[in-house]
Amino acid sequence: MSTGAIIALVIVVLAVLAVVGWFVSQRMHSRKLRDRFGPEYDRRVSETGDRRKAERELIEREKRHARLQLRPLPDGARERYAEQWGLVQEEFVDRPGDAVVGAEALVQTVMRERGYPIEEFEQQAEDLSVEHGTAVPHYRAAHEIRIKHERAEATTEELRTAMVEYRKIFVSLVGVDSEQQASHTADTEADRGESTSGNEDRRYDDAAR
């Protein structure tokens, strides 16, 4: 084989290796974004219909997130918020709609103390998705039910679902230490709610009218 042929072969091999390396790098980058954003990654890919475009958007979220001055909650604040969550859930028995509104307000209060800017809802969800990607779909679902409640279209069962969904983003924001307390309160209130569900439905329907 001539020297020229050898050089050409080497160039081809290097080009192939470069292409393979690029594809591997892209796959690893995509996997990293998918692992970080969880369901939010699939949501953006589905909505845009373009994985590259979706990934560029998610990278922009990471850049914005990096500029935020976020901070963890001190222990005292975690305990205080867990107690406040318990009060919100207690309110659900008699005033389910007010409890749902209060749950979102409490989530936003925690966000604000942690350093998240409280802008319009979609921006909140995007900011949260960088570190709380698994919980953000629950936040979106709960918010949609709250909007239905504002139009007097949400059923008591939907409001109950919203409380469960809000608890997931709440626990993610506040920390693991609050999960057991929040979960225990939720189970207790769910039991109480089931025993009075008929009365709740009637009270809620009367209020909606």
Q: Which domain holds residue 198?
A: 75-208
For residues 52 and 198, which has the higher predicted lDDT (pLDDT)?
Answer: 52
pLDDT at 38: 87
Q: What is the mean pLDDT of residues 169-192?
A: 61
Q: Give every CB contact of residue 42 below 8 A, 6+ residues apart in sequence.
A: 34
> Predicted confidence band at 30 (pLDDT cuts at 50, 70, 90)?
confident
Q: Compute the residue count for the chain.
A: 209
pTM of the model: 0.72
pLDDT at 140: 96
35 shares its domain with 104: no
pLDDT at 31: 83
Q: What is the mean pLDDT of residues 186-190?
A: 46
Pick the last residue of a domain from 15, 46, 67: 67
105 shares its domain with 204: yes
102 shares its domain with 29: no
97 shares its domain with 117: yes
100 shares its domain with 46: no
Check whether 4 has a pLDDT greater than 80: no
Q: What is the mean pLDDT of residues 25-45?
A: 82
Q: What is the mean pLDDT of residues 135-148?
A: 97
For residues 65 and 198, which has the higher predicted lDDT (pLDDT)?
Answer: 65
Centroid of chain to Cα 105 = 15
Closest CA to 66 of 130, 11, 123, 124: 130
91 shares its domain with 55: no
pLDDT at 26: 55
53 shares its domain with 108: no
Check whether 197 has a pLDDT greater than 70: no
185 shares its domain with 87: yes
152 shares its domain with 79: yes
Helix/strand/coil for 110: helix
Q: How many domains does the chain have?
A: 2
Give the percent of the chain with pLDDT over 90. Answer: 62
59 shares its domain with 160: no
197 shares its domain with 99: yes
